[in-house]
């Protein structure tokens, strides 16, 4: 792919990796000092929109660094430069709306590690692109590590070929329990009323069904959501035929509020889950956030998480179809 050096300059960041010939993340910087303002950046993105979108698919992660992106309004201008449709977040993470298409990232305690996942992986309609903006970088920790999903599939197939093919053929069922109201003391503390945008149980059930979920109401006012069957891996168009590890087995298997098992009710072998957890961490890529960073993820190709951090840390997010 030809690179437009007129509008961007290729940079580097600590933690970059070369994966199957592609740099992750690809770092793009202003071509000149007087081109770092947001107006110039938005113009450059609009001018190179198709090329930039292909770049996200090619490299999976693209980091804009060195631009003068100050706040949610600036970030929203960047999000809207592409004309990508917005997609409402559905999931357990507590979040707050900030401005137009911009939300806070998971507001759960910074002391906790948020495990790797494809955004909204279990929902029928999930975002293709995830955009993150660092407004306040943490003094320590707080990285957003990411993992090339196809590498996990490759390595799991090499070590557990029969088990992986069996799981993929049978499919997976997941459950997740949510309270009625938000609990920001938990990274999975989003209540069902906030998640479904209603306090009416019948309406919540209707919206859940449209998203591919069944619901069981609990005596404490909470709800148990049931999802499945879901595939273990997926192949998406335009991504070299790679089999993505498009699931959340490790993140939900055997947890207090969630579960993951085969669709026929049998348990996933513990050694498979444990080894997968090790492989995902081994394949992870991360860099230190800097103020003003804007990170683009191909959500179909990358799992991502959040390292524990010392406060303050403020990262904003937008999800796009």
Domains within the chain, CATH numbers bracketed: 9-111+118-140+287-320 (3.60.130.10), 148-281 (3.60.130.10)
Give 211-264 pLDDT, tens digit per residue: 889 999 999 999 999 999 999 999 999 999 999 999 999 999 999 889 999 999
Q: What is the pTM of this model?
A: 0.94
- Predicted confidence at residue 190, as pLDDT, reads 85
Q: Would you say the C-alpha torsion 90, 92, 98, 104 has a positive or negative sign?
A: negative
What backbone phi and psi angles, to 5 degrees, belong to 99?
-165, 120
Give 182-211 pLDDT, tens digit per residue: 887 777 778 899 888 899 999 999 999 998
**Arithmetic mean of pLDDT, 158-166:** 98
Q: How confident is the model at residue 2 (pLDDT cuts 50, 70, 90)?
A: low
- Return the percentage of the chain with pLDDT > 90, whole number: 88
């Amino acid at each position: 792919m030809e690179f437009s050096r007129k509008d961007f300059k290729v940079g580097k960041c600590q933690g970059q990796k070369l994966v199957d010939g592609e740099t992750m993340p690809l770092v793009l910087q202003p071509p000149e000092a007087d081109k770092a303002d947001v107006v110039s950046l938005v113009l450059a993105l609009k001018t190179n929109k198709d090329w930039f979108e292909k770049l996200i698919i090619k490299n999976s992660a693209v980091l804009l660094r060195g631009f003068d992106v100050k706040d949610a309004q600036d970030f929203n201008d960047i999000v809207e430069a592409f004309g990508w449709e917005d997609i409402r977040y559905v999931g357990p993470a507590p979040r707050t709306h900030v401005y137009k298409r911009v939300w806070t990232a998971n507001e759960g305690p910074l002391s906790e590690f948020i495990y790797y996942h494809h955004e909204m992986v279990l929902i029928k309609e999930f975002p293709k692109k995830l955009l993150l903006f660092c407004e306040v970088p943490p003094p320590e920790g707080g990285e957003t590590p990411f993992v090339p999903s196809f590498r996990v599939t490759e390595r799991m197939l090499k070590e557990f070929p029969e088990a992986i093919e069996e799981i993929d053929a049978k499919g997976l069922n997941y459950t997740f329990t949510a309270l009625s109201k938000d609990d920001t003391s938990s990274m999975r503390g989003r209540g069902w009323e906030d998640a479904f945008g209603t306090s009416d149980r019948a309406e919540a059930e209707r919206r859940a069904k449209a998203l591919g979920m069944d619901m069981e109401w609990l005596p404490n006012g909470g709800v148990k959501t049931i999802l499945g069957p879901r595939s273990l891996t997926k192949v998406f168009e335009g991504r070299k035929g790679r089999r993505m590890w498009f699931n959340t087995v490790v993140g939900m298997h055997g947890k207090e509020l969630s579960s993951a098992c085969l669709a026929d009710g049998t348990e996933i072998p513990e050694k498979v889950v444990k080894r997968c957890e090790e492989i995902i961490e081994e394949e992870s890529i991360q860099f230190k956030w800097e103020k003003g960073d804007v990170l683009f993820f191909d959500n179909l190709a990358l799992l991502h998480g959040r390292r524990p951090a010392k406060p303050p840390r403020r990262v904003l997010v937008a999800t796009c179809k």
